Amino acid sequence: MPWRVYIIECNDGKLYTGITNNLKRRIKEHNSGNGCRFTKYRAPVKLVRSEKALNRSRALKREAQIKRLTRKDKDKLIGGK
C-alpha cells in the first residue's frame, strides 16, 4: 500500500497530522483509543484530508511541512473555514 499523510479532526476540534501505509486501520486505531496519546481521549476522530506520498521518507517530510503550518493555513488546506 502507498504511504499517506493524513489530517484528522478530533471531537474537540483539534487537528492531528500523521502518516500511515494503511489509512483505514490507522483511523480505527485512533477511534479505539490506541492510535496515539494525542487522540486517546479526543475520540471519535474524523478524516478531513489525505494525500498520497511516494514513500515513507516523502510522507515524513510532508507531515513535517503540515505540522509547521498555522491553524488558519491548515483550515485552508483541508478546505474549510
Q: Is residue 10 part of a domain?
A: yes
Which of 55, 75, 60 has the alpha carbon at shortest distance from 19?
Answer: 60
Q: Read off the CATH number of the domain in which 54 is found.
A: 3.40.1440.10
Residue 80 forms part of a structural domain: no
Q: Is 19 left (phi over 0), alpha (psi -120 to 50) or beta?
A: beta
Q: Within a domain: residue 81?
A: no
Instruction: Render each residue's pLDDT in the chain as its tens digit; 81 residues.
Output: 799 999 999 999 999 999 999 999 999 999 998 888 899 888 899 999 999 999 999 999 999 999 999 999 999 999 865
Domain interval for residue 66:
3-75
- The pTM of this model reads 0.91
- Specify the pLDDT at position 81: 54
> Which pLDDT value is given to residue 35?
85
